[in-house]
Each structure stands twice: as structure tokens, then as C-alpha cells.
Amino acid sequence: MSWRTVVISQHAKVSYSGRKIVVQTKDATHQVPIDDIQILLVATTQAVLTASAITELSEAGAKIIFTGKDGNPTCETIADYPGNRSLASIQQQVEWGTGLKETLWTAIIQAKIAMQIQCAQLLGKDIEDLTTEADAMVFADRTNREAVIARKYFQLVFDKDFVRTEYSPINAALNYGYSLLLSAVNREIVCNGYLTQFGIHHHNGVSDFNLGSDLMEPFRPVIDYWVAHQKFNELTPDVKFGLVELLNLELEYNGQITILRNALTKHVQNCLKFMTTPKEEFDVKVVMTHEVPNNALISHV
């Protein structure tokens, strides 16, 4: 299983040789086994990637994320022909029933809200108002408690004047972290043979990542919690690397201690399994444990 996030942050050439990705900088040459790489983050516009490196990474199931001049993610690779994708699985996905999608969405949003409440509580905030709103949630969130709670939650966690849509260093960090989560979830969807475009709740006609946007929701508060603990005036490389390293954060997923990247893998598998072999109920529970394991490694060049 791939587990490593490799970050390219300076002028470099990235090539492929003998089942390894070779990163050449002006100071040194680094070699990383391709089967170890889960995400290659190209955090500079001064890097050159060979066609063979891109192709081999794609065939190995690795995700490549490119950033723009401002350092924010602008695009990512999507494997067009994963070996386990079939016409049957695509047709099945397109025909997912409304009841199933609403059942899964309900569980996902309940898990997200529970995590938001936990995040606020860990930060020493008064969660009574959030809990009251959460208790009022109905099936498929038809009363849109998610949006109501989100507005109150962000102002509670960050500042009473905080507006999620305004530009600020905090919003920039949140967006960066969310984009990393989305890319990791998209990778797992594709690896399981499904399309990222067809969601269970999000139906943006111009978005290629509706399903990823749906499934990532319970894990967003992990990003919020980390950002709330930091003090910064701009989205510096150190802040970005800290957000990347969150993929190795230890947490609890459905009663098992794991790291975030592995929880995302299991979560996507569980969600897709439910949609293909449904049962009456579906549960999602994510709990933060405050610990980063010693083997949480990240390659940075």
C-alpha cells in the first residue's frame, strides 16, 4: 500500500527509472520507490516532469497535484483507464437510487457535524448552540442544518466576524487543506473503479469532483482544528507542509486507531460498498486523538 507524500518545492526534474521516481535538484538527486508514493505534490512552477514519470505514477494509482504561482492547488491527475473500472460499475453508479444516496448523505453529514462539535469542544468553546442545531437534523438534512451549523461553527472556532467566503490567511489555509483532502479522496474513488463526477448530494454540472466533495465531508474538521491552533499571517510553505503532513495524523475511524490517509481509504471503500451492496443502516464515526505517530513520514525536497 502506498503511504508517502512527496513534495517538490524547488526547481527540479522529476523522471522515472527502474520502478523509482527520480527527483533531481541543483544540490542532490533523490530516488523514491514508485509503489511508496500516494501523492506527489508539485508545489512550485519551476519543476519539470517527464511523460514517463506521469504515466508510471498514474498507473501505480498515485495522485499528482500541481500548484499555481500563488502556491494553491490548480489541477490534479485523474486516471482515465483504471484497471478495475467497468461499464457495469459505471452504469451502477449512474443508477444509484435516491433513497440510498440520502441514507449515505445523512450518515456523512451527521459524522461531519459530530466532528465539528468535537473540534469546537476541544478548543474550549461553548457547544450548546451547535448541539441544539444538530439535534434538530432530519433525514437527508432537508432543513439544511449543515449550513446553519457551519456558519455558527466557523464563527465560534475562529472569530465572530469570520466569513468563510472572504479572502484571509485562515481561509487560504483551510482551502489548501481541503483541496488536499479532496485529492486524496478522489484518488481512492478512482482506484475503486468509480467516477468522481457523479455524487450522492453535490450535483455541480461543471465539477469533476462531486462524489469526492461528498465523501470527504466528515474529515474537514481535522483541517479546521489544525488551522485553529496555528498563528500565521500568510500561507507560507511551512503552513502548507504542516497541512500536507496532516495526512499522517493519528485519529480514530469507526472504532479503530489509524492515520488520516488510511482512514480516507477505508471510508471511501465503505461508502462505495454501501452503495453497491446496501444495508439498512450506515455509520460513520471519526474521533481526533491528538497524536501524530512516529512513523508519520513525509518526503520534502
Pick out the residues of the known binding site for Mn(2+): 146, 202, 217
* 250-253/256-259 β-pairing: antiparallel
Residues 6+ apart with CB under 8 A from 50: 13, 14, 15, 16
At position 153, the amino acid (one-letter code) is Y
DSSP lists the bridge partners of residue 95 as none
Length of the chain: 301
Sign of CA dihedral 155, 158, 163, 165: negative
Q: How far is residue 84's CA from residue 189's CA, in Å, rounded to a whole number?
A: 11
Q: Are 91 and 275 within 8 A, CB to CB?
A: no
Judged on CB neighbours under 10 Å (0-12, 13-18, 19+), 260 is buried
- The DSSP element (H or E) to which 13 belongs, if any, is strand 12-17
Binding site, annotated residues:
146, 202, 217
| Cα pseudo-dihedral 297, 181, 163, 158, rounded to 10 | -40
Phi-psi region of 71 (alpha: psi -120 to 50; beta: other; left: phi over 0): left
First to last CA, the chain: 22
Q: Are 195 and 79 within 8 A, CB to CB?
A: no
Q: Cell 483541496 belongs to which residue?
A: 179
- The DSSP element (H or E) to which 184 belongs, if any, is helix 169-191
Q: Cell 472504532 belongs to which residue?
A: 255
